[in-house]
Amino acid sequence: MGMMLGVQKIIIDTDPGQDDAVAILLALASPDEIEVLGITAVAGNVPLYLTEKNARIVCELAGRPDIGIYAGCARPLKRKLITAEHVHGKTGLDGPELPEPKIKLKEKHGVDFIIDTLMQEPKNSVSLCPLGPLTNIATAMLKEPRITSRIKQIVLMGGAYFEVGNITPAAEFNIFVDPDAAKIVFASGIEIVVMPLDVTHKALVTTQRNEAFRQLKTPVGVAVAEMTDFFERFDKEKYGSAGAPLHDPCVTAYLIDPTIFSGRKINVEIETESELTLGMTVADWWRVTDREPNAFFVGDLDANKFFNLLTNRLGRLPLNSTS
């Protein structure tokens, strides 16, 4: 791969979601670059009781029953939960027929798992990878402020600038669901990498790319093809695009090979007051303010390189193919 970054320790915070599932699978398929310390579930695409279950289903599909899965917050910091069954189906993982998970949920609360892990691991050795609303991350920061100086970086999927909104005209879903949490995270001073709709809408699963997943002829390849088939139907109806955007795997791909992406270090503020633009990521792409840059805002990717990486890695699962 050229860039030897060593193995990066991460916690994946997620609300699966078909694209979340693909992001998790990509991480679990890449042990040379990524060590998943645990997965924390948050309410978002679907309610918490489904997101934690879906996280367990995905780890089972990957042949990784050893990964600890923790349930976090069931609702945003201050607001009523908004979900996205209209995109992901009523289970959140509609598409493939996957068995009930045998993996049990861990007892510890997801927020406490985040705090305890960051306090135990060496400073600046653990990155957080939130793929859903930022409720768990912000709650952890509020509960134990000392963690902010210990996080290596936060690589998240959320927000938009040129693409603007997907849940309202002005806002992207993950930020909109809990703008108060997003505001805390973006103001934390931690190094943040943002994968907004601007880049994820360039990571489109075309028919050929989906066929490549199916041609892996493995349970993972087929399940991923069926998942992307499912939410492609929604996206085609909505955007009439060449395929469904794979939002969340951009986060994992960035950790494996950042050269796939390009962006700018800019200031990003979160709107929490306005009724009209609630949850908007006000991204100073043109640097028209003198506000301090607080995020590396990704704007473009090499889509072919991204899908080659994804297909190649998914084809490795399960890693212990002896079973």
Residues annotated catalytic, as ranges? 247
Angstrom distance (rounded) from CA 307 to CA 305: 6
Angstrom distance (rounded) from CA 215 to CA 178: 38
Angstrom distance (rounded) from CA 171 to CA 179: 10
Angstrom distance (rounded) from CA 309 to CA 26: 9
Are 42 and 15 contacting, i.e. CB atoms less than 8 angstroms apart?
yes
Contacts of 169 (CB under 8 A, 6+ apart): none
Angstrom distance (rounded) from CA 161 to CA 199: 10
Are 221 and 310 contacting, i.e. CB atoms less than 8 angstroms apart?
no
Phi-psi region of 179 (alpha: psi -120 to 50; beta: other; left: phi over 0): alpha
Q: What are the structure tokens assigned to 313, written together?
A: 């890695």
Angstrom distance (rounded) from CA 136 to CA 115: 10
Dihedral angle, C-alpha 191, 313, 34, 113, nearest 10 °? 90
The alpha carbon of 11 is separated from its chain's Cα centroid by a whole number of angstroms, namely 11
Phi, psi for residue 156 in degrees, rounded to 5: -130, 155
DSSP code of 152? E
Phi, psi for residue 251 in degrees, rounded to 5: -60, -50
* Burial classification of residue 263, based on how many CB atoms lie within 10 Å of its CB (0-12 exposed, 13-18 middle, 19 or more buried): buried
Q: What are the structure tokens assigned to 41, written together?
A: 């579930």
